Amino acid sequence: MSFRPVLFACAAALALSACRSKEGAGAQGAPSPGPAAAAPSQKVGLVIDVGGRGDHSFNDSALRGLETWAAGKALSANRYTPLPPGALEASLPQELRTLTPPIRAVAVEPVVLSSKAQEDYEPNLQLLVDQGAGLVIATGFMLENATETVARRNPSARFLLIDSTLLDPAGNPIGLPNVRSVVFREEEGSFLAGALAGLVTKGTVGFVGGMEISLVKKFEAGFRAGVATTNPAARVLAAYTGNFDDVAAGKQVGADLLAKGADVLFHAAGSDGVGVIQAVKEARAGGAQAWAIGVDSDQHHLAPDAVLTSMVKRVDLAVYEAARDVAAGRFTAGDTALGLAQKGVGLAEVRAEFPGKAEALAKVEALRQRIVSGGLTIPATLEGLPSFKAQP
Amino acid sequence: MADGRLARALPSLLAVTAALGACFVALAAALGDAGLAAEAFGQMALGGFGDVPRWLSTGDAAAVLRPLGESAGKASVLLLAGLSVAVAFQVGLFNIGAQGQLLWGGLAAAVVGAAVQLPPALHLPVCLLAAAAAGAAWALLPTALKLRRGVHEVISTIMLNWVAVALVENWLVVGPLQGPAGAGTAEVHPSAVMPRLLGESSRLNLGLPLSLAAAAAVAAWLLRTTHGLETRAVGRGQEAARAAGLPVEGRTWTAMAVAGALAGLAGAVLVLGSELRYPGRLAAPYGFDGIAMALIGGNHPLGVAASSLLFGALRAGGTRMQLLGVHRGFPELIQGLALLFVAARLGWAWLLLRRKETPRA
């Protein structure tokens, strides 16, 4: 043994890598997503937060709106391929199939950047502007500051901010002429989830939140109000995981609430929710009667037996509409809030079977109509709960 | 002497070269396309060191300055966290708690930056001092447990990380210290913000010179002062140091306080340099990356500086690889591989030394 063989091995490895790169550079027709693509399609950039792709929830909803619906593409092996005919229509939920104009792919090309850390948001947004994106989408309230900075710096670029309006340091909303913001009335959809949970539970329901911030507390407030409406005697346990990207934490907190007797768990915890649903699934495998209620996307596919329904937040639709408007050259700035009446939130189809399903769904539907008609206002904060419960 | 230095430096050089080569092969294999891999590395270079072609063709200097600012930001945080771990290593302790110390430092900087009104010349130094003090205080907890009760610092520092996360991020930042704009503390006053050195187009700020100065100061202290020599002596052999009459406990206290202060400064650089408040989450686990930086840099302050500058650029530039569909975790993969190769360096050094010693014997 001497060190000569080691050196030789290193040299060989380097030589090998050099060879491979040369050979590859000659052989490939790199399908780089450059402007070489056909048609005058515009780039639409999307920055997702640290939760990343594959949360089956909020981020995936935004990606569905851009990649599947607006661009008509699927991501496989690191590159985009066009969807087969009919796949886009099949991906639409029932209530969106009847929209006019219908959802169909427009001439946009998605460019998606995931963020690794809080300080990546600003350079990522800027990078998309530099790449010539006709629209830059920032998904998540955590990108609010970065969006404001980059939008001010690039007045000719257009932005869509999801889940927050732009705010000044004192917390007051401000508008910029190149930023559209979309927020949701999560409390209204969560109210229906709570109402259904109240009708299904044997006495205790649970709420698993992500970060303990006012946005997530909106879900809790609506959920509690819903449970109190249909089942005033039911107990609501709430716990927060403190983040949106820790599946294990979600599972742990979910299992904890189940152990404390909750039999319906509603989560608003991003990727952590996958763990919550997993906990419910395992409890059911162990013979317990328990349900999970998903959030943001329809999470039925994660555990078809265990998922009662999902509180769907139409981030996908907001993203799609902004991309469509940019492609059609009629993007407008401004702040929008979407609730039940605008179909911005709502319950996914209830595919699970449970005793008394028809009556329960009828009751939930009646409540939905009361909210849509303005006859019922749902509290968006926990502080607003007592006065809501005091209503007749 | 020169020979000895070469013998010490060669394995590191070999390790880094081989690691980068191996990464390339790994990426080419992962993507099944060496051309795409080359392109991805090209994008990474543009993102890490500046988009020079764009600058030359459009005259837009921001195309270079902006990426440099991002690289510098990451490098300075990695460097301070790495120094924290390296200093603790020098006194013989494994500080896995840099992450928790970093969070407290960031919070202290954010609170002092927002709550106190001071003239600009004073405000920033006071914020930095507060951050260093907070980080040091959090590091002295496990030190006390170690010296008074014999609790192993690996256990106590890693557990205290989670205590820090729970206290800072799950309670204070979303509770009592939450600012008016939701998720996160109030914005700091302009007088507390790290001055930007290249104008508004780039986020390159005082953090980089600050962290480099810290590295130089730590190097001078450890390698050029009696106090530093004693500290290293304690790290090399506690019992021998005690027998030689060195104040083992005193040196341990000081070194851990410095380690905590450095990690606290890393948090302050993040908060006062780019976030301007403590955000809902100070997401990336830079405290843990600090361990990698310390090990890759051989626990030498200047080695840590070199590895931090390299990996800062790599990580900042890695984002651009996503334009080609490469997974966002790739820069960390390279960092992990480099660590693996540097760990294997000990094996190579052994081979080298054996070869050297045989003729002499």
Domain locations in chain B as residue ranges: 76-312
A289 Rama class: left (phi>0) / alpha (psi -120 to 50) / beta: beta
| Per-residue model confidence (pLDDT) at position A12 | 41
CA B195-B131-B96 angle, to 5 degrees, is 120
User: What Cα–Cα distance (Å) separates residue A241 from each residue in A37, A212, A276, B82?
Assistant: 43, 8, 11, 29
Provide the pairing of β-strand A73-76 with A79-82. Answer: antiparallel
Of A21, A116, A145, the CB nearest to B38: A21
For an interface test with B, give the residue of A16, A20, A126 to mutate (most B CBs within 10 A): A20
| Per-residue model confidence (pLDDT) at position A30 | 38
For residue B70, list chain A residues with Cβ-Cβ distance below 8 A.
Answer: 119, 123
For an interface test with A, give the residue of B6, B39, B41, B168 to mutate (most A CBs within 10 A): B39
C-beta separation of A313 from A286 below 8 A: no
pLDDT in tens, A358-380: 999 999 999 999 999 999 999 99
3-state secondary structure (DSSP) of residue A106: coil
Question: Residue B190 above 50 pLDDT?
Answer: yes
Question: Residue A35 above 50 pLDDT?
Answer: no
| Per-residue model confidence (pLDDT) at position A47 | 95
Contact A21 B284 (CB under 8 A): no
Of B18, B175, B331, the CB nearest to A10: B18
Could you tell me which chain A residue has the CA closest to the CA of B20?
Answer: A14
For residue B35, list chain A residues with Cβ-Cβ distance below 8 A.
Answer: 21, 24-28, 30
Section B255-280 average pLDDT: 95
The residue assigned the tokens 């709430």 is: A238
Could you say which architecture CATH assigns to the domain A42-184?
3-Layer(aba) Sandwich (3.40)
Contact B323 A111 (CB under 8 A): yes
Distance from CA of B38 to the nearest CA of A (A): 7
Distance from CA of B184 to the nearest CA of A (A): 9
Contact A171 B21 (CB under 8 A): no
Could you tell me which chain B residue has the CA closest to the CA of A174?
Answer: B181
Q: What count of residues does chain A have?
A: 392
**Whole-number CA gyration radius for chain B:** 21
Of B25, B183, B274, the CB nearest to A17: B25
Question: Residue A152 above 90 pLDDT?
Answer: yes
Could you tell me which chain A residue has the CA closest to the CA of B54?
Answer: A130
CB atoms within 10 A of CB A75: 15
pLDDT in tens, A324-360: 999 999 999 999 999 999 999 999 999 999 999 999 9
Contact A141 B182 (CB under 8 A): yes
Of B63, B322, B351, the CB nearest to A1: B351
| Per-residue model confidence (pLDDT) at position A391 | 67
The residue assigned the tokens 């006065």 is: A387
C-beta separation of B154 from B94 below 8 A: yes
| Per-residue model confidence (pLDDT) at position B11 | 58
Distance from CA of B299 to the nearest CA of A (A): 25
Burial (0-12, 13-18, 19+ Cβ within 10 Å), B45 = middle
For an interface test with A, give the residue of B13, B107, B322, B353 to mutate (most A CBs within 10 A): B322
Give the closest residue to A162 by CA, choosing from A378, A336, A380: A336
For an interface test with A, give the residue of B12, B33, B77 to mutate (most A CBs within 10 A): B33
Give the closest residue to B91 by CA, choosing from B283, B214, B221, B273: B221
Section A134-142 average pLDDT: 94
Q: State the count of interchain CB pairs (< 8 A) between A and B.
A: 173
Could you tell me which chain B residue has the CA closest to the CA of A32?
Answer: B324
Q: Would you tell me which residues 74-113 of chain B have a C-beta closer than 8 angstroms to some C-beta of chain A? A: 74
Contact B281 A50 (CB under 8 A): yes
C-beta separation of A317 from A65 below 8 A: yes
Could you tell me which chain A residue has the CA closest to the CA of B350?
Answer: A3
Q: What percent of chain A has pLDDT over 90?
A: 72
For an interface test with A, give the residue of B351, B352, B358 to mutate (most A CBs within 10 A): B351
State the Cα–Cα distance between residues B38 and B46, nearest whole angstrom.
12
CA B247-B251-B256 angle, to 5 degrees, is 155
Distance from CA of B260 to the nearest CA of A (A): 22
Question: Residue B3 above 70 pLDDT?
Answer: no
State the Cα–Cα distance between residues A153 and A150, nearest whole angstrom.
5
Q: What are phi and psi of B308, to 5 degrees?
A: -70, -40
Q: Would you tell me which residues 262-321 of chain B have a C-beta closer than 8 angstroms to some C-beta of chain A? A: 270, 274-276, 279-284, 315-316, 318-320
State the Cα–Cα distance between residues B339 and B318, nearest whole angstrom.
18
Which amino acid, B28? A
Contact B326 A242 (CB under 8 A): no
Question: Residue A389 above 80 pLDDT?
Answer: no
Report residue B14's pLDDT band, with 50, 70 and 90 as the boundaries.
low
- Where does chain B show beta strands of DSSP type E? none
Report residue A18's pLDDT band, with 50, 70 and 90 as the boundaries.
very low
Of B24, B39, B200, the CB nearest to A30: B39
| Per-residue model confidence (pLDDT) at position A4 | 42
| Per-residue model confidence (pLDDT) at position A53 | 87
For an interface test with B, give the residue of A116, A148, A149, A271 to mutate (most B CBs within 10 A): A116
CATH class of the domain comprising A186-312+355-389: alpha beta
Q: Does B34 touch chain A (CB under 8 A)?
A: yes
Report residue B60's pLDDT band, with 50, 70 and 90 as the boundaries.
confident
Q: Does B6 touch chain A (CB under 8 A)?
A: no
| Per-residue model confidence (pLDDT) at position A19 | 37
Kindly provide the ipTM of the predicted complex, given to two decimals. Answer: 0.88
Cis peptide bond N-terminal to B11, omega within 30: no
Which amino acid, B172? L
Q: Does B358 touch chain A (CB under 8 A)?
A: no
Beta bridge partners of B96: none
| Per-residue model confidence (pLDDT) at position B35 | 80
Contact B324 A213 (CB under 8 A): no
Lookup: tokens for A376 = 């019922």
Distance from CA of A342 to the nearest CA of B (A): 26
Question: Residue A20 above 70 pLDDT?
Answer: no
pLDDT in tens, A200-254: 999 999 999 999 888 999 999 999 999 999 999 999 999 999 888 899 999 999 9
Q: What is the helix, strand, coil percentage profile of chain A, to 5?
A: 45, 20, 35
Show Cβ contacts of residue B313 under 8 Å, excluding neighbours closer than 6 positions. Answer: B48, B49, B71, B74, B75
Contact A24 B170 (CB under 8 A): no
pLDDT in tens, B80-98: 999 999 999 999 999 999 9
Give the closest residue to A91 by CA, choosing from A298, A352, A283, A243: A298
Contact A114 B63 (CB under 8 A): no
CATH 3.40.50.2300 residue window(s) in chain A: 42-184, 186-312+355-389
| Average pLDDT in chain A | 87
Give the closest residue to B312 by CA, choosing from B291, B333, B289: B289
C-beta separation of A227 from A367 below 8 A: no
